[in-house]
Structure formats: C-alpha cells, structure tokens
Structure 1
C-alpha cells in the first residue's frame, strides 16, 4: 500500500514537472519567434535560445501527458505562428536594388567635337591681314604760306602741316602755341606737341638725330618715317641747320637753323618734296634726297 502511494506521488510530481517544462519551452519558443527577451530578477538579459534547444525542450517525455501536440496544448514545437518575421530585420537585397537609381550612361562625343578638321581649325592661329604695301610715291594736299617774318619759320612750317589735316590757324596763333620768340622756336619737341594738340591726335612722335652727321640707320629711319606719315595722310616737319643742295641744283643755307615741311615722296621715299616757308612765292618747293635731308637735320630732329 505504501509503495503504491509513493508511485502515484512520483507520477504526479513527474507529470507536474513535465508540464512546467513544456510550458517553459512554449514561452521560449514564442520569445524566439517574436524577438522577445526573457529576464530573470537580478540577472542580465537572456540570449535567445536556439531552435535546437526549443525542439529538445519541447520533445515529449515518454508517457508524459499534455505533449501530444493537440490543439490548445502548450509546449509543442509547432505552436509558434508560421511565417512570423522578427522585427528589425534587414530588408532583402532585392528591395535595396530596386530603390537604387540606375547609372546614367556617358554621352558620346559629337562628331563635331572629335572631327580632326575641327580640332585643326581650333588649334590653328587666327589669320591676320597684312596691311597693303605703301605706294611708290605720294603727294599730300596742303596750303602753302611763306613765313611772315624772319623768326616765324617754325610756325609757318607747322601751319603747312596742319593744313593737310584741314586745320588753318594763323601763324601768330601757331607761334603762341609753340612759344616762338624773336630767337625762333626751340626744337622739334615743340612742333610735335602743337601738331598733336591742334589736330587732336597722338600720331606725331619726335625723332632726334643728335650727331654731326646722320648714320645709315638714321637715314633709313627718316625714309621709313616719311613714307609712313605721308601714306597715313600726315606731313612731316623737320628742324634743320646748315646747307643742302636740292635735286635741281638749288642751294639752300640756314646756318642758324630753320624749319621746313615734307609734303610728299617718290622712289619709295628716297626722294622727298620740301615746302620751304623761307622762300617767297605761291608754292616754294623742291625735291631733296632723303640722305641729304637726314644730314641736314643732324644735331636737330623732326616730327613725324
């Protein structure tokens, strides 16, 4: 009798333990499927049990009641809801691929950009049009007027040059601008300044020939300057001193200095036409070689 009671008691206790174990296994399985975490009082978080552990705990003991997997019975491994996804899981790679914008294909270069002819045209320097060669000879239109006194050669020669540009001031007005006195006009620097001021230009420049005789380079420079000025429509005013003989044999002597005007050239500038205000007359001109004119202007200079 005592032994029978003890077996019933052990059976009841064993059955109660099995039901508690199965209930615990069900709770653990539910936590594993929902991502929940069990915690015991005073202990750290309990890590999720593996599916294998749940399966082992949920395996029914031989002869234990309540482990048949019947509906409503806790503790079976299949009691968790199928298809449940734990929250916080990473989205599948296919979704990320769908939200990524496709790369824009590189645009091919247009034929115009890659054409060798276009590249060569861009690389080639811009063509510049060369100015036409000056004429072999040229004469300017001017108004001649002889100097009105012995010291007005500077104003008279400057006025002749001004008339080429349609400026016709009086000799007195030009003398006042030049600063001319009874001793004459100081230098070609003055004639350059007044020509630019009264015409309203910056064309004129002063060229000095400081030596007692012109060098070949200075002769060439005078020839080129005369051609450039006359071709551009400007007369040249020269400050000379000494004597020179023109191409017709006329002799001209100004030992104290003098001003005269070049109003034309021929033979590519090797010969120049002189309008000399010291000679009375309607048009007192003569032809002179550029070499002789350069030597005549030695120690002085000219405005061109």
Structure 2
C-alpha cells in the first residue's frame, strides 16, 4: 500500500469517528443543561453573563445601560428639574403716581403709589383711615404692611425691620434681595425712612421726623433702587439711590416687602 493511500484511509477513519462523537457530546450537554435548570434555587443566567464569567470579551464593547432614578433614590441621580426663571438685572414698575395731599399723608400716598403697580386704586383718604394716620403721621411699617395686604386681599407683604442705628451688611443684602423679588413679582416696596440720605445724583433728602417712600424699581441686580417720593420736596418725584444708602436711611425703622 502506498504512503498516499495510507494517509487517505486514516483521514476517512478519523472523519467517521468524529461524526459519531459529535452527536454523543450534544446529547450529554443537553442532559447536563436540563439537570442544572431543574435544580432547586437555580436562577436563569442573564444573557452575556456566561461570557463575562469566562473572561470573554464579546460583551466588552456593549455600553452599560444608563441608571434610572426611582423613588427613594439619591436626589443627585434624579432627573434634573427645569431651572427657575432668572430675574432681569433691571426692572421698573408701571405705577400711577400721586403726591401726598397734605404734609402728613406721606404714608397713605406711598401705599397708594405701591398699590397702583397692581392696578389697585384706593384714595389716600380711605388709606389714611385704614392706616390710622393722624397729623403726626403713620406709626410704622407694620401699618403699611397691614393696609397693603387688606387692599390686595392676600398676605402678600411682610414687615422687615432694621433696628440698629445703621444697617448691617446682612440687612443691606436682605433689602437688595427683597426689592428684586418684590419688583420682579410685580409689587412695589414701601419704606419708612428717617433722617437724611443722598441720592445717586448727589441730592440730599432730609426728613428729621420720618417719611414714607415707595421703591418702584431696581438696577444693577438690585444694587440701586428707584424711589417714588410723594413729598414734592427736593426736586424730582423719582430718583435713584444705592441700596446701601437706602438701607441706612431705613435704619431704626422698617419696610413692607
């Protein structure tokens, strides 16, 4: 027998043997799988888990699924909420200005001018009756807060006090924030001031016995406020003043915001 013929016979024998072995292996694998699957406590294997356990790189290029926030999950991983609307760096309210009708009606006039920003028109006489205004004036910012809320029919305003002889940096910051919040919400601030202060144009305003003004706007993110002054004194009925100077002008008294 030639060498070539011997090789061919050997190949056919091996091929025939492999054909017999393959079905046998398939039967054994199937039986083993069924036995494992029916075993108590057995959990089905997730797709790709066997490959990962064997060190296979088949799943290596598949991106992991993104985590979904559920109730009770870490707030940092929760779906982002829409950002709160930003306020403008400058805003001035549209008001219907009136001068005070006598020397002691600065309180009623300031409240009237503030209410007109909300399209509410109440006479100074009616406001004076509600405020308890006399020839000695209107007592405090607590009265203007109460009257503003009564006229609006809602507890929109609160009284903020600056009790010291000068405003602290925190009180200056608070006034700035209150004016920006109030004005951007559409309502003016009523301030009870005393003594003197210089406006942005260099004009001195002096009310030794106290006075009420309406803050109807702001600029530079609230670092300056626009004042509506019903007194008719010291030039224009509106002017700008730094929020720091306004806070010190209010010191020992308060404001409605």
> 1:153/1:135 Cα in 2 relative to 1: closer, same or farther (>3 Å)?
same
Of 111, 119, 138, which aligns to 1:158?
Answer: 111
Rounded to whole Å, the distance in 1 between the matches of 2:246 and 2:167 is 9
The corresponding residue for 1:222 is 175
Confirm or deny that 1:293 pairs with 2:250. Answer: no
Cα distance change, pair 281–170 in 1 and its aligned pair in 2 (3 A): farther
Where does the alignment leave 5 or more consecutive residues of structure 1 unmatched?
Answer: 1-107
CA distance in 1, matches of 2:226, 2:168: 21
**Match of residue 187 from structure 1:** 140
CA distance 1:120–1:236, shift in 2 (3 Å): closer
Residue number among 137, 140, 147 corresponding to 2:100 in the alignment = 147
Distance 1:119 1:216, change over 3 A: closer
The answer on 1:261 being equivalent to 2:214 is yes
Contact preservation (8 Å) 1:270, 1:289: yes
User: 1:288/1:129 Cα in 2 relative to 1: closer, same or farther (>3 Å)?
Assistant: same
- Cα 1:229/1:156, change in 2 over 3 Å: same
- Residues 188, 303 of structure 1: 8 Å contact kept: yes
Contact 2:218–2:225 (Cα < 8 Å) also in 1: yes
What's 2:151 paired with? 198
Counterpart Cα distance in 2 of 1:282 and 1:212: 27
Match of 1:177 in 2: 130
1:236 to 189, 206, 227: 189
Provide the C-alpha distance between the structure 1 equivalents of 2:223 and 2:68, rounded to a whole number of angstroms: 48
Equivalents in 1 of 2:243, 2:145: separation in Å?
20
**CA apart distance, 1:202:** 1.4
Q: Give 1:155 shift.
A: 0.2
Counterparts of 2:166 and 2:67, CA distance in 1: 58
Distance in structure 2 (CA, Å) of the matches to 1:297 and 1:259: 10
After superposition, the C-alpha distances for 1:199-244 in whole angstroms (9 at most, x for unaligned) are 1221211100000011111111101100000000010000000001
1:279 to 232, 238, 254: 232
Higher mean C-alpha displacement, 279-288 vs 129-138: 279-288
Q: 1:282 and 1:231 mapped to 2: Cα distance?
A: 27
C-alpha contact (below 8 Å) 1:271/1:290 kept by paired residues: yes
Equivalent pairs, count: 194
Q: Secondary structure at the match of 1:226?
A: helix
Higher relative contact order (CA 8 A, sep 6+): 2
Partner-residue secondary structure (3-state), 1:159: helix
Structure 2 segments unaligned to the other structure (5+ residues): 1-42, 47-64
Deviations for 1:225-281, whole angstroms, at most 9, x for unmatched residues? Answer: 000000000100000000011111111100000000000010111111000000169
Question: After superposition, where does 1:1-304 map in structure 2 within 5 Å?
Answer: 120-122=69-71, 123=73, 124-125=77-78, 127-279=80-232, 284-304=237-257
Q: Could you list the per-position Cα deviations for residues 40-96 of structure 1 after superposition, in whole angstroms to 9, with x for gaps in the alignment?
A: xxxxxxxxxxxxxxxxxxxxxxxxxxxxxxxxxxxxxxxxxxxxxxxxxxxxxxxxx
Q: What is the Cα-based RMSD across aligned positions, in Å?
A: 2.5
SS of the residue 1:184 aligns to: coil
TM-score when normalising by structure 1: 0.60
